[in-house]
Amino acid sequence: MQFLADWRLATLSMILSSFLSDIVTARNLKSCTMYNEFCVPVQNCTLYKQYTSTPYRNWPEELRKKATNSLCNDEVINSAKVLSVCCPTSMNPKECGLQSVNRISKGSIAMLYEYPWMVLLENSKKEFVCGGTLISKRHVLTAAHCIRNSAAITSVRVGELDLSKEIDCNIVENEMDCADPPQDIKVVKITRHPSHSQRDKKNDIALLRLERPVAFSHSVRPICIPNGTPEQRSVNPSFYIISGWGLTENGTSFDVLRYARVPPVSLDNCATSVKRISVALRLDQSQICAGGIDAIDSCAGDSGGPLQYVSNRTSRFYQLGVVSYGVRSCGEQSAPGVYTNLMSYLNWIVENVDE
């Protein structure tokens, strides 16, 4: 089986190298737009995927022209040339990452219209068991371990702030300002990363496809996802933000959405804390560590929820991680949390987010 996989990869590489030789000498690398485009290997882009097993000269003329004009990166990874194109997706619409408030509130409890991409996952027992993020009108990003429980995830809720209230409202200049009612939408497809390992806690990422598109509003918007360009791959925030209702697979939660600022932690420094969970666990570049300064910080995070930052250039929120494990010591001890690093999974996300 490994020989067959290697042969297929070698064949694909030869086909794509032909593609590269046709255009690389005359090309200028394109900078993908921040809206609805991701810089991913051509074989991971749905638009071109069905043609990548055939010689480039046999592609439809319009598609060849589009691919030639969409080249955004060519780099060597593991001794192989990887050709990337700006791939159109339903993610990162113009509404992504924007809040209908002027700034992050100073408290730990979220204000109305803050973090409008937050999602609650509901199981067949009608329990909210994990968090997630809205990344398009029909897709939610979460952790793979959130969908391995005995009670299957059946629906999601978007546009929620306070679980104890039917409608979330705020008083502005003596007038009542109320959000639209939350939207409860069925999940019709669950895609867990095929290499997810609960024992090793690796590849802890999953996608949910919704039965119908969500209706965007001030309280419902998707978060931005880094689109794979060199600029966004090299981002190094001075702090992250986690947000959620404190939902974990153990059933703990708060009624009101909360958030906290958490500092980045190097993988080397994080490894010591991880060994408290299991000496067999190993961290790698597919993971991010953050937090551990104040034990109360970890209370704000959901399993499956986002590790996010605010872009200094665009003032938009981008998601860099998914809460994986370690964020379970709420109020007990200071320990960093471990997050799935989205930069390692951008190709997989783009490949599995259909229209």
Q: Which of 145, 193, 196, 219 is catalytic?
A: 145
Q: Where are the beta strands (DSSP E) in 137-286?
A: 139-142, 153-158, 169-172, 175-178, 183-192, 206-210, 240-244, 258-262, 264-265
Tell which residue, 130, 125, 171, has the closest CA to residue 150. 125
Which of 84, 219, 298, 303 is labelled catalytic? 303
Whole-number Å distance between alpha carbons of 249 and 258: 18
Residue with tokens 């009542």: 176
| 30 contacts 72 by C-beta, under 8 angstroms | yes
> Which of the residues 204, 273, 297, 302 is marked catalytic?
204
**Is residue 145 annotated as part of the catalytic site, yes or no?**
yes
283 three-class SS: coil
**Residue 303 annotated among the catalytic residues of the structure:** yes
68 membership: H or E segment, kind and range? helix 61-69
Q: Which two tokens stand for residue 184?
A: 């409860």
Q: DSSP secondary-structure letter at 202?
A: B
The residue among 30, 15, 341 whose CA lies nearest residue 193 is 341
Active site residue 200: no
Q: Which residues are catalytic?
A: 145, 204, 303
